[in-house]
């Protein structure tokens, strides 16, 4: 059999393994707007214990882990050892080093800087579970996989470093001295999403908040309230609990004097749709109007802060609330400003990054690369008024012919969309970044694009695509003929002419672009590196601020000649950690393509882009 035939067969098998319509959903509860639920924070001091040979997970012959290594057992190691001289323990979570979470472990201690593997975390806490209520331990994220035990009982496992998950703890909690143990494993595999080789730091650990949420026995698990493109407000509500069926639920927006009641069906679901109230102020980057939305279902009172907007495509243009909008953006990694980031995006850290984009660059748009960011970023984007491109880390070398990898990606996508589809800022869902065309890849990404449309048809589907280059003519010709474009609303291209490769900057504007013209085209990445403070005005070389600034001037001129060019998110707002970047005194472990340094020092290119955006904003 030929290679091509084999690949086609693999692609067909993927489709059979994941029949159309069968949605992959989060394994546990959704807990929509969990960050606004009342609860007990489990952030703060935890203890941790490294386990490079994973002996807490299995013995060295592959047998179940022995008591001497099982970090999750509900035992006081010191007391046991004192009581029994023959007891043997090779860990003691109560006396292990301490760390303040959320934080990646890379910054816990110098010897943790390059550790990738399994780390056990333990939190001791008191809890006062209210009678008749249900408790959930909710993790904002654990990178990459996590296995969770409470008081010696296994609650479950989660894979994927950037999306939330929750386990029910009802009946397992006690009033004092609870022992929550989480084994977090940062090691990627050939089938993980993302794969082992990326261009960003793999921040292992519990990098987002952990909370204990207590809810009525039947509660609002999922609620999605939005403005549809036809002008109706629609809501989908899902209850969780024994009394979910046939229950009255009421949606309220007091600022609009709006209240609508509906009864759930046999599955505990309800749908509402009604004409948009005339007084409704639409959300936009200029006026990011948000409303307090409540859903009352018996004893449960769910709330979220929601903005209403539409985003659509008309031929080669993107429309926001029915009007053309050019996306003046920038790409951002989830990494806070400062000399030693640990991926702890407090609300203040999120605002600091996004304000640089909004106020500094005059942006109306951000690409939150390359994975779902902390919910603090989305809340801040809602409040500041920035349209968001959100993506899952289907990046570079994904095991496209592996059904398990597809399942992981689909679950991650669903977790991302269910967490964020109430965020007004979300404009585009992206399903992939720089993935070479193949039958297996096309089927995989086609499946993801269909999932987006099933989970949230109110936003646009996109992906960051690659181009082919032909240097045989008078000028270089760059062609984008990716078959995936047919499944997308908006095409997006990453390109680095003038940085990678030998192009001279003065020749960039001559490059000929051959791209389909029938859809909007974004440039999801363009960029060049510069070390902040490295000046070479006379003869600028790569890594000088002058070279980067000129790269921006010439690149903007090049892009402006493309008819359906409808926005961009240059790479990238801030220098970010990347183990791939090891040139001493210039990179030292940082990707230097930031418009500001890691501590926020602006480079010359920052003003080039800011001025161009200011002029574009006026022209709009």
Contacts of 610 (CB under 8 A, 6+ apart): 360, 361, 362
Angstrom distance (rounded) from CA 540 to CA 534 = 10
Q: Pick from 442, 494, 548, 569 the residue near ligand GCB by CB under 6 A.
A: 494
Angstrom distance (rounded) from CA 60 to CA 127 = 37
Q: What burial class does residue 556 get, using C-beta atoms within 10 Å of its C-beta: 0-12 exposed, 13-18 middle, 19+ buried?
A: buried
The site string for ligand GCB over 551-590 (x = CB under 6 A, - otherwise) reads --------------------x-------------------
Q: Which is nearer to ligand GCB, 270 or 464 (CB)?
A: 464
By CB under 6 A, what part of segment 229-288 binds ligand GCB? Answer: none
Q: Which is nearer to ligand GCB, 367 or 410 (CB)?
A: 367
Q: What burial class does residue 408 get, using C-beta atoms within 10 Å of its C-beta: 0-12 exposed, 13-18 middle, 19+ buried?
A: buried
397 binds ligand GCB (CB under 6 A): no
| Residue 342 token pair | 């640990």
Q: Which is nearer to ligand GCB, 421 or 593 (CB)?
A: 593
Residues in the chain, overall count: 620
Q: What's the closest the beta carbon of residue 591 comes to ligand GCB, in angstroms?
A: 5
Closest CA to 8 of 446, 447, 439: 439
Q: What's the closest the beta carbon of residue 606 comes to ligand GCB, in angstroms?
A: 17
Angstrom distance (rounded) from CA 484 to CA 11 = 14
Q: Find where tokens 């790569």 sit.
A: 542
Angstrom distance (rounded) from CA 224 to CA 34 = 13
| Residue 204 token pair | 């292992």
Angstrom distance (rounded) from CA 423 to CA 428 = 12
Q: What is the DSSP letter of 512?
A: E
Angstrom distance (rounded) from CA 530 to CA 300 = 53
| Residue 318 token pair | 């993107």
Q: Which is nearer to ligand GCB, 390 or 591 (CB)?
A: 591
Q: Which is nearer to ligand GCB, 264 or 494 (CB)?
A: 494
389 binds ligand GCB (CB under 6 A): no
Q: Which is nearer to ligand GCB, 525 or 546 (CB)?
A: 525
Q: What's the closest the beta carbon of residue 194 comes to ligand GCB, in angstroms?
A: 10
The DSSP element (H or E) to which 179 belongs, if any, is: strand 178-185
The region, left, alpha or beta by phi > 0 then psi within -120 to 50, assigned to residue 315 is left
- Are the CB atoms for 330 and 361 separated by under 8 Å? yes
Q: What's the closest the beta carbon of residue 428 comes to ligand GCB, in angstroms?
A: 16
| Residue 186 token pair | 């940062």
433 binds ligand GCB (CB under 6 A): yes
Q: Which is nearer to ligand GCB, 426 or 463 (CB)?
A: 463
Q: Which is nearer to ligand GCB, 186 or 433 (CB)?
A: 433
92 binds ligand GCB (CB under 6 A): no
> What residue is closest to ligand GCB based on CB?
199
Question: What 3-state DSSP class applies to 473?
Answer: coil
DSSP string across 236-266: EEEEESTT-TT-EEEEEEGGGTEEEEEE--T
Q: What's the closest the beta carbon of residue 434 comes to ligand GCB, in angstroms?
A: 5
Closest CA to 485 of 290, 313, 231: 313
434 binds ligand GCB (CB under 6 A): yes
Q: What's the closest the beta carbon of residue 581 comes to ligand GCB, in angstroms?
A: 8
Q: Are strands 165-168 and 134-139 parallel, antiparallel or unpaired?
A: antiparallel
Angstrom distance (rounded) from CA 517 to CA 529 = 30
Angstrom distance (rounded) from CA 409 to CA 429 = 13
Q: What is the DSSP letter of 356?
A: I
Q: Which is nearer to ligand GCB, 133 or 199 (CB)?
A: 199
591 binds ligand GCB (CB under 6 A): yes
By CB under 6 A, what part of segment 334-373 binds ligand GCB? Answer: 370
Q: Which is nearer to ligand GCB, 35 or 575 (CB)?
A: 575
Q: What's the closest the beta carbon of residue 592 comes to ligand GCB, in angstroms?
A: 9
Q: What's the closest the beta carbon of residue 440 comes to ligand GCB, in angstroms?
A: 21
Q: What's the closest the beta carbon of residue 370 comes to ligand GCB, in angstroms?
A: 6
Q: Pick from 201, 375, 525, 546 the residue near ligand GCB by CB under 6 A.
A: 525
The site string for ligand GCB over 184-223 (x = CB under 6 A, - otherwise) reads ---------------x------------------------
| Residue 330 token pair | 């920038």
Q: What's the closest the beta carbon of residue 571 comes to ligand GCB, in angstroms?
A: 5
Q: What's the closest the beta carbon of residue 353 comes to ligand GCB, in angstroms?
A: 17
Q: Which is nearer to ligand GCB, 306 or 463 (CB)?
A: 463
Closest CA to 414 of 47, 164, 594, 170: 164
The site string for ligand GCB over 289-318 (x = CB under 6 A, - otherwise) reads ------------------------------
Number of residues interacting with ligand GCB: please give it, by CB under 6 A.
Answer: 9
Q: What's the closest the beta carbon of residue 140 comes to ligand GCB, in angstroms?
A: 23
Q: What's the closest the beta carbon of residue 165 comes to ligand GCB, in angstroms?
A: 25
Q: Which is nearer to ligand GCB, 405 or 464 (CB)?
A: 464
Q: Which is nearer to ligand GCB, 120 or 590 (CB)?
A: 590
Contacts of 533 (CB under 8 A, 6+ apart): 545, 597, 601
- Are the CB atoms for 229 and 236 separated by under 8 Å? no
Q: Which residues bind ligand GCB (CB under 6 A)?
A: 199, 370, 433-434, 494, 525, 571, 591, 593
């Amino acid at each position: 059999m030929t290679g091509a035939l084999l690949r086609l067969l693999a692609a067909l098998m993927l489709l059979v393994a994941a029949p159309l319509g069968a949605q992959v959903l989060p394994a546990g509860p959704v807990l929509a707007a969990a960050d606004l639920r009342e609860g007990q924070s489990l952030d703060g001091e935890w203890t941790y214990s490294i386990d490079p040979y994973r002996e807490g997970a299995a013995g060295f012959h592959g047998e179940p882990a022995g008591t001497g290594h099982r970090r999750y057992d509900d035992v006081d190691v010191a007391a046991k050892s004192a009581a029994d001289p023959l007891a043997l323990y090779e860990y003691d979570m109560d006396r292990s080093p301490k760390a303040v979470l959320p934080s990646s472990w890379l910054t816990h201690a110098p010897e943790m800087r390059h550790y990738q593997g399994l780390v056990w975390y333990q939190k001791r806490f008191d809890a006062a579970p209210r009678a008749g209520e249900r408790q959930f331990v909710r993790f904002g994220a654990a990178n990459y996989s996590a296995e969770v035990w409470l008081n010696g009982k296994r609650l479950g496992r989660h894979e994927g470093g950037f999306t939330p998950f929750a386990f029910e703890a009802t009946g397992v909690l006690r009033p004092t001295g609870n022992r929550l143990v989480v084994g977090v494993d940062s090691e990627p595999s050939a089938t993980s999403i993302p794969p082992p080789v990326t261009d960003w730091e793999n921040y292992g650990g519990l990098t987002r908040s952990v909370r204990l949420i207590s809810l009525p026995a039947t509660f609002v698990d999922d609620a999605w309230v939005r403005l549809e493109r036809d002008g109706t407000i629609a809501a989908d509500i899902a209850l969780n609990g024994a009394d979910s069926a046939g229950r009255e639920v009421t949606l309220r927006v007091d600022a609009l004097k709006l209240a609508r009641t509906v009864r759930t069906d046999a599955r505990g679901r309800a749908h509402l749709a009604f004409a948009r109230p005339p007084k409704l102020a639409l959300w936009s980057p200029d006026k990011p109007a948000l409303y307090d939305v409540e859903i009352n279902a018996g004893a449960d009172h769910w709330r979220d802060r929601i903005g209403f907007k539409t985003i659509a495509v008309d031929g080669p243009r993107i429309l926001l609330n029915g009007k053309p909008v050019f996306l003046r953006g920038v790409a951002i990694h989830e990494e806070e400003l400062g000399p030693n980031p640990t991926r702890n995006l407090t609300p203040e850290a999120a605002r600091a990054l996004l304000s640089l984009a909004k106020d500094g660059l005059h942006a109306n748009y951000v690409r939150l690369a390359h994975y779902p960011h902390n919910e603090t970023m989305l809340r801040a984007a809602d409040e500041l008024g920035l349209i968001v491109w959100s993506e899952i880390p289907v990046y570079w070398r994904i095991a496209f012919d592996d059904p398990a990898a597809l399942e992981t990606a689909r679950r991650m996508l669903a977790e991302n969309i269910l967490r964020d589809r109430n965020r007004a800022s979300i404009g585009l869902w992206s399903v992939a970044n720089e993935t070479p065309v193949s039958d297996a890849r096309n089927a995989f990404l086609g499946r993801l694009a269909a999932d987006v449309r099933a989970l949230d048809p109110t936003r646009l589907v996109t992906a960051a695509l690659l181009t082919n280059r032909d240097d045989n003519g008078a000028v270089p010709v760059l062609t984008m003929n990716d078959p995936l474009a047919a499944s997308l609303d908006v095409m997006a291209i990453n390109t680095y002419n003038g940085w990678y490769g030998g192009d001279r900057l003065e020749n960039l504007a001559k490059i000929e672009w051959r791209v389909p013209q029938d859809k909007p085209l974004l440039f999801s990445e363009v960029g060049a590196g510069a070390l902040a403070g490295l000046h070479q005005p006379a003869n600028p070389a790569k890594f000088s601020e002058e070279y980067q600034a000129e790269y921006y001037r010439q690149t903007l001129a090049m892009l402006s000649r493309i008819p359906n060019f409808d926005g961009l998110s240059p790479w990238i707002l801030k220098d970010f950690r990347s183990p791939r970047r090891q040139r001493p005194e210039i990179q030292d472990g940082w990707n230097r393509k930031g418009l500001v340094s890691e501590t926020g020092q602006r480079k010359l290119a920052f003003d080039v882009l800011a001025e161009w955006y200011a002029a574009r904003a006026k022209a709009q």
